[in-house]
Amino acid sequence: MKKTLMTFALLLAAAAGVAMAQDGHRYGIKSGILTQKSEMGETTVWFDDYGALEAQKMKMSMFGQETEMTVIRKDGKTYMVNAAEKQVQEMPAQGADINFLNLTDAVKSQYKVKEAGKEKVLDRECTKYTLTMDQMGMSMNQTVWIWKGIALKSFTDGGQFQFGNEAVKFEENAEIPASVFEIPKF
């Protein structure tokens, strides 16, 4: 069951972090703190250096269990941190390599990215996109609402599961302490 929870948390993080890019600015603002809500719980996202550093803390209720997971992305790697079990799992960066600030024809073709109009989320004019991505052996259809490269809302359909999240609070150009992005040593 714990492995299932970890896998599901990783899928959620990958889907929520769809705007990953290895090089260049991912976001059109330097830093921010984003709070998102979903039917499973709450996620707080801190980012700095235009998205080169990102940490997500997810508090979720899945399969009747409460779980808290932190995902830190930096230096081209993803770190899954389970503080309750004092575990850190390091892996290559997860998520689609999509930089919505610089959508290339190759990326649009690979992920079948299509623009689907404009909608406001938190009073910010977002571009709505649909895309398909394969993650951990699963094909997922997504709709994302992007503002300055940042996903303020998303809905993912993985066939056997569907989930979505939406920003309920966003602090732009926030001062983010470096400690947020530190990998714990257990």
> Which pLDDT belongs to residue 6?
43
Is 134 contained in some domain?
yes
* CATH code: domain of residue 31: 2.50.20.10
Cβ neighbourhood burial of 174 (10 Å; 0-12, 13-18, 19+): middle
CA atoms of 71 and 57, how far apart (whole Å):
7
Q: Is the pTM of the predicted complex or chain greater than 0.75?
A: yes
Domain around 129: 2-181
Averaged in consecutive runs of 10 residues, what is the pLDDT profile of the chain (186 residues)? 43 44 75 95 96 94 85 92 93 75 92 96 98 82 97 92 93 96 93
Is 80 contained in some domain?
yes
Instruction: Provide the 10 A C-beta neighbour count for residue 48.
Output: 22
| Number of structural domains in the chain | 1
Is 186 contained in some domain?
no
> Which pLDDT belongs to residue 94?
59
Longest dimension (CA), the chain: 46
Is 98 contained in some domain?
yes
> Which pLDDT belongs to residue 129?
98
Is 64 contained in some domain?
yes
> Which pLDDT belongs to residue 125?
98
Is 100 contained in some domain?
yes
Is 124 contained in some domain?
yes
Nearest to 18 by CA among 161, 144, 165: 144
